[in-house]
Structure 1
Amino acid sequence: MLRSFVTAATIAFAIPALADTKPYPATFATQDIATNGTTLHVRIGGSGKAVVLLHGYGETGDMWVPLAADLARDHRVIVPDLRGMGLSQKPATGYDKKTEAQDIAGVLDALKVDKVDVVAHDIGNMVGYAFAAQYPDRTTKLVLMDAPLPGVGPWDEILKSPLLWHFRFGGPDMERLVAGRERIYLDRFWNEFSADPKKWSEASRQHYAKLYAQPGAMRAGFAQFAAFDQDVIDNQGFLKKGKLGMPVLAVGGEKSFGPTMAVVARAAADNVTEVVIPASGHWLMEEQPEATVKAIRSFLDAE
């Protein structure tokens, strides 16, 4: 998902102490919320207009600390670990993004939240889009960060990149290959999709590697990608009903998706604002947190 192939295609109160990573502010609480046949681990803090932050693969809701801390000054911030990831349950099925979006709707129902801004990255983009498409009246704004949407816009061209071999990597044999080697597998993502791999601290690498080494975690992670074929079908069904109408911010890393993030977003939505974060690869919150928080905050604050 690096810029090179995009251009060529012309297109509980703090984080659990698994490693020494930045904690959420002490004002955040954690809650395990039953929803849609599973249970999601959720961080909740602040008050005001609701915003939900959806993480991607190779991370968990822990990635959002800088943004969550900023938004909590005047928002009610809701940060789940997606189905099968982080400290959420790891059921055998349900990894299509339409179902995962329904997971998020159930979390919001449990918290008595009606309307919400949605901020998403990577796999979270796919869940965020599926949420906005299924619940347009609940979605006030949508932020999509540096990842494609299955079946939307230049999806077929993006799939041709050899960098994305992991989209088809999975199954019992692959689980056996990475068992006990989760760090090796994940380092590949953190290194290859970064403008500067040194932005990924050793503490963060240990933290996420330990979470992905939990029983069932790699199986669930592979299932996120295995569901893409169904996601294509679901997303094309959403598009037949029309593009999204709410304001959408498309954020690309300069050394990753760049302006192609807006190309993807405009295939799915009518009202798109484009932002490219300089000197960043795919991992915007790790590589350029200040610029990324500023861009998202500016978009969410705009009338």
Structure 2
Amino acid sequence: MSLRLAFFAFSLALAVPASSAVPPYPASFHTQEITTNGATIHVRVGGKGPAVVLLHGYGETGDMWSPLAAELVRDHMVIVPDLRGLGLSSKPAGGFDKKTQGEDVAVVLDKLGVGQADVVTHDIGNMVGFAFAMEHPDRVRRFVLIDAPVPGVGPWEEILKNPLLWHFRFGGPDMERLVAGRERIYLDRFWNDFSADPKHFDEASREHYAKLYALPGAMHSGFEQFHAFDQDAIDNRAWLASKGKLTMPVLALGGEKSFGDQMAVVMRAGATNVTGGIVPGSGHWIMEENPAATVQLVRAFLDKP
């Protein structure tokens, strides 16, 4: 981590009050920085047993998973990275295509001595997890994808026509200038519009994530995550054409007021063994809007023989 980023991270820790509504990770977790291909990935690790990797999406960081991590750490080794460019991971110039980020996951597991893991993902984490699973299918026991499409898979072109997804094409130097110092205003739009009830994404959580996205390079990295979608779609279609669909057990969860059962439709185009599910009373932000149901659904799937 650069001295500048380390300073901002330290300042952030002081700025976010202990009463923040983002639940802390259990004390048994530790953090470490793992160098991958052109990035340094900030990783939370805790527990012993079968490994499970939790991948976050845009508008949040690995902090979102703390309620699920607290449950799984009882009998799993839980591994929670911040995606490259986001959270406390480094902010590299490139590598935001999901194939490269899937390799970030592979290197993290290699450095931790983990051969195979369950993978649980949300939002852009779905796309990174899909790339990892396509490139390393033998390393994924079970795969849970939550409330976001995968580029080039299933009804991707129809999904792109939804006017709520204008931000998929938003980015570039001028857009970065527009949001500089206004990160909270920009992110509020997603937290409000993609919630079943915006009050469930509380003020302390908004402050917490807005500070992280105000770190130098974070908004640029976030825009680049979306800018890579065209290449991601090309890569995913090529994988499916050459390798066929994923064969490990897959759980496709949609928020009741968001993707709903469309998640299963998307994943049946990319996997052969798909179970659908709904997070009740939730929009897109499943860990803020209904963490108890999300934890229960994920846990039940991972516990299957």
- Give the C-alpha shift of residue 174 in structure 1: 0.1
- Give the C-alpha shift of residue 131 in structure 1: 0.5
Matches within 5 A, 1:72-221: 72-221=73-222
Provide the rounded CA distance (Å) in 2 between the counterparts of 1:37 and 1:118: 23
- Give the C-alpha shift of residue 201 in structure 1: 1.2
SS at match of 1:153: coil
> Could you tell me the TM-score, scaled by structure 1's length?
0.94
Relative distance call for 1:189 and 1:179 in structure 2 (3 A) is: same
Q: For each residue in 1:105-127, what CA deviation from the matched residue of structure 2 results, as whole angstroms up to 9, or x when unmatched?
A: 00000000000000000000000
Provide the rounded CA distance (Å) in 2 between the counterparts of 1:104 and 1:136: 13
Relative distance call for 1:26 and 1:148 in structure 2 (3 A) is: same
Q: For each residue in 1:129-172, what CA deviation from the matched residue of structure 2 results, as whole angstroms up to 9, or x when unmatched?
A: 00100000001010000000001000000000110000000000
- The residue that corresponds to 1:295 in the other structure is 297
Query: Which one of the candidate residues 277, 284, 287 is aligned to 1:282?
Result: 284
Look up the equivalent residue of 1:65 and give its one-letter code.
S
- Give the C-alpha shift of residue 63 in structure 1: 0.1
- Give the C-alpha shift of residue 239 in structure 1: 0.6
- The residue that corresponds to 1:64 in the other structure is 65
Provide the rounded CA distance (Å) in 1 between the counterparts of 2:57 and 2:203: 19
Provide the rounded CA distance (Å) in 1 between the counterparts of 2:194 and 2:161: 16
Look up the equivalent residue of 1:290 and give its one-letter code.
A
SS at match of 1:93: coil
Query: Which one of the candidate residues 264, 267, 273 is aligned to 2:266?
Result: 264
Look up the equivalent residue of 2:275 and give its one-letter code.
T
Look up the equivalent residue of 1:28 and give its one-letter code.
F
Q: For each residue in 1:3-22, what CA deviation from the matched residue of structure 2 results, as whole angstroms up to 9, or x when unmatched?
A: xxxxxxxxx9xx94552232
- The residue that corresponds to 2:6 in the other structure is none
Provide the rounded CA distance (Å) in 1 between the counterparts of 2:70 and 2:179: 34
- List runs of 5+ in structure 2 lacking aligned partners: 1-8
- Give the C-alpha shift of residue 35 in structure 1: 1.1
Query: Which one of the candidate residues 243, 246, 259 is aligned to 2:245?
Result: 243
Provide the rounded CA distance (Å) in 2 between the counterparts of 1:149 and 1:71: 26
SS at match of 1:53: strand
SS at match of 2:91: coil
Provide the rounded CA distance (Å) in 2 between the counterparts of 1:170 and 1:154: 24
Look up the equivalent residue of 1:153 and give its one-letter code.
G
Provide the rounded CA distance (Å) in 1 between the counterparts of 2:228 and 2:15: 29
SS at match of 2:269: helix
SS at match of 1:268: coil
Look up the equivalent residue of 1:270 and give its one-letter code.
T
Look up the equivalent residue of 2:293 and give its one-letter code.
A
- Give the C-alpha shift of residue 71 in structure 1: 0.2
Relative distance call for 1:225 and 1:299 in structure 2 (3 A) is: same
Look up the equivalent residue of 2:85 and give its one-letter code.
G
Deviates more, 1:100-109 or 1:16-25: 16-25
Provide the rounded CA distance (Å) in 2 between the counterparts of 1:63 and 1:16: 16
- The residue that corresponds to 1:45 in the other structure is 46
SS at match of 2:137: coil
Provide the rounded CA distance (Å) in 2 between the counterparts of 1:37 and 1:131: 17
Look up the equivalent residue of 2:180 and give its one-letter code.
A
- The share of aligned pairs that are identical, in percent, is 71
Q: For each residue in 1:70-106, what CA deviation from the matched residue of structure 2 results, as whole angstroms up to 9, or x when unmatched?
A: 0000000000000000000010100000000000100
Look up the equivalent residue of 2:246 and give its one-letter code.
L
Structure 1 runs of 4+ aligned residues shifted over 3 Å read 15-18
> Could you tell me the TM-score, scaled by structure 2's length?
0.94
Look up the equivalent residue of 1:266 and give its one-letter code.
R
